[in-house]
Copies of this chain bind each other. A is one copy, B any other.
Amino acid sequence: MENPLILVTNDDGISAPGLRHLINLVKDMGQVVVVAPDNPQSGMGHAITVKTPLRLRKLVDEERYAEYSCNGTPVDAVKMANKIVLKRKPDILVSGINHGSNASINVIYSGTMAAVLEAAIENIPSVGFSLRDYSHHADFTATGKYVKNIIHNILKKGLPKDTCLNVNFPAVNGSEIKGVKVCRQARAFWNEKFESREDPQKRNYYWLTGEFNMLETGEDTDEWALNNNYISVVPIEFDFTAHHAINELNNWDFNA
């Protein structure tokens, strides 16, 4: 595809190093428009902003590169990009690079991946990239050639209908990466620990923290891939229907 229109967003916010790294990777691949939250939006899932007004701020406006921040969630950013900023549907949406894993069940809490799903709903090919390192100073160097390769693949071949990609990188040097593995989402859950504190008025409050708990270790899962220094690529979809369960439910007596 010649001169594709590339929409870029994330959930760590407009100034996150992971976003800056992604912008540098795609800047020579086409016309690039960034619309990203002005503040960190990790853990916002597929939230949209309906109770408060949204604002959009133009930061850069060059011929082949534009940059905007908005005060909403990552899903808001995608919607504002498509309906306010862009004159035509983008050829691809890329989200990230997230500081921290979005593999396994993390996909459901992730603002980075919600932006990707939102684009898929709007029939825009889309991919999210995440590095399994939560640090602000994480080293994104090793991601470069794979990010470019995956974007090239999508622009050339498109994606299977109604799917988008969740790509996660192990936090290792490029030389240690064993390659790319197409996987399924591993079963896992977060075991929350609420840290209880007292405010100066002696009222109780809590901080949400937690520990990640794997429930399986199959070689076809994204967690296995990352644990074994592979880059995981999981095709995901916005159809939540558990199709396999429909027959069983048809045997229920709903009128008893």
Contact = CB atoms under 8 A, between A and B. Distances in A.
B204 A55 contact: yes
Contact of A46 (B109, B149, B206): B109
Nearest to A50: B43
A157 B252 contact: yes
Interface stretch (A20-28, A29-37, A60-68, A77-85): A77-85
A182 B246 contact: yes
A185 B237 CA distance: 12
- Tell me the interface secondary structure of chain A in the complex: mixed
A243 to B, nearest CB: 6
Interface residues of A toward B: which range? 35 or more
Interface of A: 40, 42-51, 53-56, 73, 75-76, 79-80, 82-84, 105, 107-109, 114, 117, 121-123, 146, 149-150, 152-153, 157, 159-160, 162-163, 165-166, 179-180, 182, 184-185, 187, 189, 192-194, 197, 199, 203-208, 231, 233-246, 248-250, 252-256
Task: List the number of copies, as a whole number.
Answer: 2
Given A184-B241, A245-B163, A192 B83 contact: yes
B185 A241 contact: yes
Nearest to A196: B84
Contact of A206 (B56, B117, B122, B248): B56
Contact of A48 (B43, B153, B203): B43
Given A184-B241, A185-B239, A185-B240, A208 B255 contact: no
Contact of A163 (B117, B197, B242): B242
A83 B241 CA distance: 28
Contacts of A121: 105, 108, 189
